[in-house]
Amino acid sequence: MIKQLRLLLAALLLLGYVGPSHQDCWTQWYNRDTPSATGDWETLADLRKENPGKLCPHPSAVQAVTIFIGIPAEQTGQTFYLYSPSKGFVCRNQDQPSGNCFNYKVRFKCPCFGIP
């Protein structure tokens, strides 16, 4: 029994040691646009141009929140044209009943070793 517990403990320690290199991390928050003329455009392509080397090649997730209070985009009741880890986030004014998007910031989930 004690031998089995030692093996289990060793396995858990090994997994804990190896695990972090395979975990994902979130990038910093980015806010490159304001919801002026057509909406709030936080596209991955534009963010990469403006922040070379700061974003991994293939993010696994994206989060968007309002810049002032940090309300998750999904809880605002607004409609999004684009909300994709591979493309970024776009809120178009024309899709909103009020005619205006909130101002959002975004971040992306990348492998920890892929974030400078």
The 10s digit of each residue's pLDDT in 30-68 is 999 888 889 999 999 999 999 999 999 999 999 999 999
Q: Using an 8 Å Cβ cutoff, are 89 and 73 in contact?
A: yes
Instruction: Specify the 3-state DSSP secondary structure of 15.
Output: helix
Residue 92 pairs with which residues in a beta bridge? Answer: 39
The residue written with tokens 């080397």 in the block is: 53
Predicted pLDDT at 8: 41
Q: What is the per-residue burial (b if ≥16 Cβ within 10 Å, else e) of 81-90?
A: eebebeebbb
* Number of Cβ within a 10 Å radius of residue 39: 22
The residue written with tokens 């994206």 in the block is: 62
Mean pLDDT (whole number) for 55-82:
96
Predicted pLDDT at 24: 86
